[in-house]
Structure formats: structure tokens, C-alpha cells
Structure 1
């Protein structure tokens, strides 16, 4: 079994630059702490999901978990900056909005949950204002902020920090030597810390070691989640099939444009040892040259064979016109969802639902009326 911190690589020669970067980040955080820079609170439930490392901690499946938890009884708005989108400013997505206008992750969430308000805006305060005041969206009940842990101009009601089990912040270093956006003491702003991507076979002693290593304050709650894979979903035709249905020893071309593809390689090993990783950078925009390379690599692989990619990458592969028919017919997305460990799901769910109910606009208005009467 691999251990926590096993995906961390430190570029020692860049540590002096990390030290300078850390000074800048600490000064900025200090200015927020003493009130020189102002954080704004809201009279609507706002839940932030983010991290203090660059990419790969599982933000999207955790945001989707919250959507699943809330959207049947609450009007959910999700606000993202829309990383690598081609548009600017505030944009509210609808069913016809293209991926390049809002980014791959918002596009994925909007198509999975068409009943939510999916908005993008680099300026989170402006995005929240638009969601709560525009005629089209002013009935929003709760706003989920995707990747906003460093956006301190907004003060969320619940701040959720995600920490990748394989890149624990206690072992990592600041950018550019490591992948941390801010010093690990920044975790003190979190109300909830979730260690993500945990191996399914963690022992009780290992959980206790992790709890001590995270060294949280009494007011902070710690949870652990692991990834659970659902049935493969064909990208270019209508078909679903479980991973277990793949032939024994199948040759897998693992096609990814995500920050940490190592986890998928590990998780697919029980299915087949014959895995050919084809990894691109995070949020990579696939080109026609990439398509030719994918075609060629897949054609040279022996049968039986299949191409497995992520849901996020599937949204970007859809627009490639030069993928061969053989390639298209063999590409499957592997959807993931998160599962809480140590029976933490009910406690986490109750905390989120209770916060949203107590801080909903209806509850606040009722309280104001009661206060006025008294």
C-alpha cells in the first residue's frame, strides 16, 4: 500500500523562491486578519470548497456531493472562476452554454445537474451579488464556492478544506518548489478539513496517525473520504458498463488531462496490469495533433483494448474532429463519487443541512420578525 505524501516531489533548488513567495502570502493573510483587507459575509448560506495546494485534491466530486445532498430541497447556485474559459466577467450557464465559455468542470456540473444555477466569475463577490440579485437567480437558497479557499474577500459560512492523502500539506512546500499555495498554517481558517483520496483499506491506527499529523484546532472537524468509481460511460455513444465487465488483462490506454493521474493508475491496477498512461497537463485543451497521437497509440496496442478517461477530460475530447471511429468507439469516461469513511457521512450531512436551514433567507426573515415583535 502506498503511503501519505507519496506523490510529493520537492524541487529543492527553488526553495529560495518559495521563501520569497511565502513572505508575500503571509503579508496578504495578515492584512486580512487585522482588517486592512476586508472579508464580506452574506445573509445567505455560502459554503466554500477549496485547498491550499495546486490542483488534484478532488474539489469537483466533493462539490457534486454537496449538490446531491442539497439540490432536491434547496435551489443551489454554484460559483466557480471557470478556469481556462474563453469568456470574461460574470456568466450564468444554461443548457446551450459551450464548455469553452465556462470551463470543463462547471460544464460537467451543469450537465449533470441541469436544475442548479451554474455561474462563473473570477470576482466572487460580484458573482454572489449577481446570483442573489439578478431576477433570473434571486431565488437561490445556498451558494457553493468552487476553489475559493484563497479568495478571502468572501467570508463563507462554512469553509471546507480538502487535503489529498497522497500530498499531505505537512510534507509539501510552497510554490514553486512544492505545490502549496500558502503556508500550512492557512488550514486554521477551515471549519471542516477532509483528507481525500484515502486508500479503502486504511487501518484504525493509520487514521489516528493522520489525525495527529493534521494537528487541527478543537473548533475544526476532520473527515476522511475515498474515491468510488461508477460504471464506465461511453463518450461518443450511449453505453454504460461496469469496470468488472472488462476482459481479464485488457490493455488500457489511460487518457488524462488532470493534476494527479497517479491515483487512477493505482485504482485500475486490480482491473489490469496492462495500463498505458497518456497524461497531459491539468485542464489540457486537446488539439488535432493530440488526436492523431491518441489514434496512433491506440492502434498500436494489442487487443482486447479500451481507452479510459475522466468525466472532465471527456467534455474536452468531444470537440475533437480527427479521432478515428475505432478510437471513438473505445473511449469511456470513468465517473467518480466520494464516500465518507469511519461512518462520517451522516454527521457531515447533518452539519451541512443544519447550517443551510438555520441560515436560509426564510429563517433569517422569521427571526427578524420574532425579534421585532419582542
Structure 2
């Protein structure tokens, strides 16, 4: 695959022209974007792959849910349905996808919906009797038919968009200049000991426009594993063999965290949003103890209802200068 992507390098300039021209046509108004008179916040990235959008959406939900009614709107990647769907008590992970189902499972009063067409999804949400006051768009940075009022752009510490190139050789969905549309940039999955000197160097590489703040976030892991039949302290994994199952874009930070405790485990690594087959489920059910990510747990747990060997480790985003970030978001919201 690596060699094939290198061979496709001549296509990169063509992809650049197409995506740059698309953005320019939106910028000058030839292609129309819909704006809204209520708070719409978009979280996204310039690249394919995991940059931590789900934890950031959850961060924003926790920040705003006490003051306003909220909804999340996602595409519902790899779901088995089409069109607009609002989650309810009967909704399954297959109906809306793993990440929206995670939101639905964690936040009782949150409206969670999916729609490939974000503009249509917003219109349907606003028709509801209990219409949300704030809508959070998940992975919508390139969905330019909608013009959000506030954009949070994420880029991974281990693969900054400033050091990447466009598809198909690189991982960028659009030119790096697209970052100028963001209100704030968050460098995600940073090491906890990231110092100010390195932060300054990263900001220099990202070259933000005037007034565009750059924040740094790390992953805050829980000390308690969650399972269907109860919780388990992470300390109880010491001296006990287990199987780590991941189906996310970048499992490296999770691996490094577990390895820091010198735990004894084998790692089964699947592709992002992996749909586990019946044979894979049967194989996993024979494992003595399985630890997985929260997103993977959403897909696996329906198959483990009568077993107590499946657990996930919750995570949250930890932001530097959190007060400033929170203030910027709330200042935007309070304009309406």
C-alpha cells in the first residue's frame, strides 16, 4: 500500500486543483453555503484518520449541556441505514454508527442524529418540538454546504497537517490553506510532558492566521475499566494476561499507555470502524479477558450480553489553557 501511494504521487496536483477550486467557489459565493441564526459548531480535520474528533465532541457536550439543549449531527459512518435518523431507546449501533451510538449511550438528554446531508439534518432537527438550541457537527470541516458559526480544527501531534500532503499519496483531504477557516486549532494526542519550547515550534509550523489560537490536548485515561456487569480497577490488570482489541485509526497512544504499566497482553489490531464477523466474535468470546476502546465496545458489547469478560477504558480530552478555549466557545454561543 505504501508503494502504491508513492506511485500515485502524480495525481496529487490534480487533487489539489480540484479541492482548491471547490473551496474557492464556496469562498466567493458561486457555491452556496447555508448560514444559521443559532449556534452551530463544527469539529473536523484536514486529514483522513483519527485525530480525536469523538472525545472533542464529548468535551463540548460536557461544556455546554448545562446551559442549552444540544444535538450532535454526524454522517453515521458505516451505518446500515440512510437519510435522517434521530436516536431513541430502540436505536442500535448498526442504525447510526459507533461514534453517534457512543454519544447516545453516554448523554441522556443529548439529541443524537445522523444524516449524510448536514444541511438536511439541521433542518429536520429544527422542526422538532424540542428543537436543540446548539448543534454540534461531527467531522464536518469539508461539508461546506453548511457554514458553521464556529470551527474547531483538530490535527494529531504525531502527524501535523503542516507536515502532510494531499491524497492519494498523503492523508490530507484538502490543501493546508483550508486551516484558515478554523476559529481555533487543537493539536491532539500530545504527550503529557509537552513543554512550551516544543509548543512554540509546533505553532510556528502550523502558521496560524492572526487571531487564530492554537491549543494542545492530551488523552486523560480513566483508572476504572467499564463493563456490562460492573467496573474493574485498572490496577487489577497487573499480573493478569488479557487481550487488547482495537479497531481505531491510531491505537498507538492507547498501546503506549497500557505498556507504561508493564502489563501482559496480546494486541489484536483491526482497521478503523471494523465490522466484526461472526467468526471473529466467536474467537473473541473464547478469550479470558478483553480490553478495548469505547468506540469498539459499542460494536462488540451487543454480542457479549451474557458474558463478563469485555471491558473498555474511558478517556476524556485534557486541554491546555482550557479556560481560554471554553471562553471562546461560550462567547460564540452567547451571541445568540
Classify the TM-score, shorter chain: over 0.9
User: In the alignment, which of 192, 200, 211 is matched to residue 219 of structure 1?
Assistant: 211
In 2: Cα distance, 1:245 partner to 1:295 partner: 20
2:332 match: 355
In 2: Cα distance, 1:285 partner to 1:134 partner: 32
In 2: Cα distance, 1:180 partner to 1:87 partner: 28
In 2: Cα distance, 1:96 partner to 1:18 partner: 44
Three-state SS of the structure 1 residue aligned to 2:20 is: helix
TM-superposed deviation, 1:11 = 3.5
1:338 match: 317
- Report if aligned partners of 1:255, 1:309 keep a CA contact under 8 Å in 2: yes
Three-state SS of the structure 2 residue aligned to 1:74 is: coil
- Report if aligned partners of 2:43, 2:151 keep a CA contact under 8 Å in 1: yes
Of residues 101-110 and 177-186 in structure 1, the stretch that sits farther from structure 2 once superposed is 177-186
User: In the alignment, which of 179, 187, 190 is matched to residue 179 of structure 2?
Assistant: 187
The Cα offsets for residues 60-112 of structure 1, whole Å up to 9 and x where unpaired, read as 11000000011112100111111111111111111221111111111110110
Three-state SS of the structure 1 residue aligned to 2:19 is: helix
Of residues 207-216 and 263-272 in structure 1, the stretch that sits farther from structure 2 once superposed is 263-272
- Report if aligned partners of 1:265, 1:275 keep a CA contact under 8 Å in 2: no
TM-superposed deviation, 1:242 = 3.2
Cα RMSD (Å): 2.0
Query: For residues 1-374 of structure 1, what are the structure 2 equivalents within 5 Å?
Result: 11-135=5-129, 137-138=130-131, 140-237=132-229, 239-248=230-239, 250-272=240-262, 274-295=264-285, 298=287, 306-320=289-303, 328-341=307-320, 344-359=321-336
Unaligned runs of 5+ in 2: none
Q: TM-score, normalised by structure 2?
A: 0.94
In 1: Cα distance, 2:61 partner to 2:204 partner: 31
TM-superposed deviation, 1:51 = 0.6
The Cα offsets for residues 341-372 of structure 1, whole Å up to 9 and x where unpaired, read as 2xx1111111111211222xxxxxxxxxxxxx
The alignment of Structure 1 onto Structure 2 pairs a total of residues equal to 335
- Report if aligned partners of 2:166, 2:172 keep a CA contact under 8 Å in 1: yes
- Report if aligned partners of 1:10, 1:173 keep a CA contact under 8 Å in 2: no
TM-superposed deviation, 1:275 = 3.6
TM-superposed deviation, 1:273 = 5.0
Q: TM-score, normalised by structure 1?
A: 0.85
In structure 2, do the counterparts of structure 1 residues 16 and 252 end up closer, same or farther at CA, with 3 Å as the change threshold? Answer: farther
The Cα offsets for residues 6-31 of structure 1, whole Å up to 9 and x where unpaired, read as xx999322212233222221121111
In 1: Cα distance, 2:99 partner to 2:186 partner: 20
Unaligned runs of 5+ in 1: 1-7, 300-305, 360-374
Three-state SS of the structure 1 residue aligned to 2:243 is: strand
